[in-house]
A and B are shown apart, each in its own frame.
Chain A
Amino acid sequence: MTKDECKQLVIEIIADIAPDEDLSNLKPDVRLRDQLQLDSMDFLDIVMELRKRHGIEVPESDYMKLASLDSCAEYLTPKFEAIAGKK
């Protein structure tokens, strides 16, 4: 999986959680919270969807690594690959 593919999966999750947001011009290096109206509960929802859809666990101590799309890709891509490797 490439980092861009990883970002796309995160965007898909955000699109379902926040259908009222325009996600077409998200800047990958800017905090999601600064571009979108997401509160801490919304991040909990992103974590929940990652687990439900992709079997990825994100412990609370790592939530800050989901701050921007770039940091999401950095943190999640190895996790996606680890899971793909198990299959």
Chain B
Amino acid sequence: MKIGPHYDVVIIGAGMSGLAAGIRLAHFGRRVALFERHNAPGGLNGFYSIGGRKYDVGLHAVTNFVPPGVKGTPLGKLLRQLRIDREELGLCPQTGSRIAFGPRGETSLRFTNDFAVLEAGVADRFPREIDGFRRLAAFVRTQDAVSFDAPVGSARELVREHVRDSLLEEMIFCPLFYYGSSRERDMDVGQFKIMFRALFLEGLARPFEGVRQVIRVLTEKYREAGGERHMRCGVARIAARDGRAAALVLDDGTETTADHVLSSIGSAETLALCDPSLPAATPVPTVAPSKRLSFVEAIRVLSAQPAALGLGTETIIFFNDSDQFSYARPDAQVDLRSGVICLPNNFQFGERQLPEGLLRVTALADHGRWAGLPGERYQVDKRRWFEELTAVACRFLPAADPAALQAATVATDMFTPCTVERFTGHLEGAVYGAPLKNPTGRTHLANLYLCGTDQGLLGIVGSMLSGISMANLHILEPAARGRTLA
């Protein structure tokens, strides 16, 4: 067996949280190595190339967007702690988004990066609820924007203390679930506060080049700070001894060691790397409050801008075809009743515009009904659902002309829960990780910690803050206190 070097910290997974943790640690002079099994960084917020085009996966928009000068926000904390200049991310704000309920979105609430727009919509459509809605927003505002040890509890119960109309309740939850709930039908109170702030009180933006721009900034910062990054080389096994991660066996057979190990690949996924024959493992809760959730996404590349094809000028449309909203793993390959339409051209890019039009339609999907399909059947099903997803999207884009859309389509792609699982390693393609979160990131091994989806901060800013928080909490702060065990 080849023996690799000893590191202060090994990070498993080069997604947003792993890269952010790596930058933080390398800044503080730690010898850090990142191991990533895939050939590209980004993880659940990555990108891929097909036919000379690059496609973003995951990221529709950067949430938590605030303009320069707004203080005490998650984005500000992130930029500070990673020494990123706002300009480097080049965030362009959304034009405006909509929550559309009913067969053709008859009940709609618009929201922009100005909370007053949503407030006015609620006041107009739900006049008896506006006071409660304002109280709810005021409550979220008083909460620490960057705390990560959020209490677990039902966000439904919290919202119902302020909002009585179940339609409004579902409309509030719809975007928050889609952009950051790993749980079916409900979310933890802490996660609710993070997402309500991220989407409604703050807002949406996008770098012109999409997620690649974020990943490029992160990988460059990491390299400049002296971090090592090994691609196409995952961690195959964590050897535990005396309650500690004693050694890491890499995919290429090399054995390496580290004082601390930070894993971003998920809780169950990390435990699976630990040698199960050793007695160190304490029982892990096996009863999850819900099934793991995953999505399909249909992507159309268009020869014209979306507005020219009747798709409108809005950025994101969260749709649901009735008053009843079910955010749960569907009893079908895809649940067409609700989803998210994203028009990446419709951000305020200023003078510039993306060269091609893009239409992305995302909906809940059942991993079990996609996994194990014979190759040909899988392809046939993908094509069928692709067309269905576009047809549904057109119902919520009043001026869309399906025939014109078809004629303008120059390329298509689609990902399923199997695609997500294959490229990210997250079990069942769970885009927001396991339903049960672990806010402290502690595991059964003293020097092994989680960051990323299963630690619990979600959204693109949340994922980076997760890496930062865990690096601070477990490695940098104890060292500063002079009582690190390493």
Closest approach, in angstroms, between the C-beta of A3 and any C-beta of chain B?
26
Interface residues on A, range: 10 to 19
Q: How many Å lie between the Cα of A41 and that of B81 in the bound state?
A: 8
Task: Say yes or no for A45: interface residue by CB 8 A criterion.
Answer: yes
Q: Scoring B residues 1 to 44 as 1 if CB is less than 8 Å from chain A, else 0, what string do you get? A: 00000000000000000000000000111000000000000000
B481 touches A42 (CB 8 A): no
Given contacts A20-B69, A37-B71, A52-B29, A44 and B83 within 8 Å (CB-CB):
no
Closest approach, in angstroms, between the C-beta of A14 and any C-beta of chain B?
11
Most A-side CB within 10 Å, residue of B68, B85, B480: B480
B72 touches A20 (CB 8 A): no
Given contacts A44-B476, A52-B29, A18 and B80 within 8 Å (CB-CB):
yes
Closest approach, in angstroms, between the C-beta of B87 and any C-beta of chain A?
10
A60 touches B85 (CB 8 A): no
Q: How many Å lie between the Cα of A17 and that of B84 in the bound state?
A: 10
A61's nearest neighbour on chain B, judged by CB, is B482
A20 touches B76 (CB 8 A): yes
A44 touches B69 (CB 8 A): no
Q: Scoring A residues 33 to 73 as 1 if CB is less than 8 Å from chain B, else 0, what string do you get? A: 00001000110110110011000000110000000000000
B482's nearest neighbour on chain A, judged by CB, is A60
Closest approach, in angstroms, between the C-beta of B469 and any C-beta of chain A?
9
Chain A residues, Cβ within 8 Å of B481: 60
Chain A residues, Cβ within 8 Å of B81: 41, 45
Chain A residues, Cβ within 8 Å of B71: 20-21, 37
Chain A residues, Cβ within 8 Å of B29: 48, 51-52
- B62-90: which have CB < 8 Å to A? 68-69, 71-72, 76, 79-81, 83, 85-86
Chain B residues, Cβ within 8 Å of A37: 71-72, 76
A44 touches B480 (CB 8 A): yes
Among A41, A51, A52, A60, point to the contact of B472 (Cβ < 8 A): A41
| A interface residues with partner B (beta carbon < 8 Å) | 16-21, 37, 41-42, 44-45, 47-48, 51-52, 59-60
Q: A17-B80, A44-B477 are in contact. List 16 more A-B contacts (CB 8 A).
A: A16-B83, A17-B83, A18-B80, A19-B80, A19-B85, A20-B68, A20-B69, A20-B76, A37-B72, A41-B81, A42-B80, A45-B81, A48-B29, A60-B480, A60-B481, A60-B482
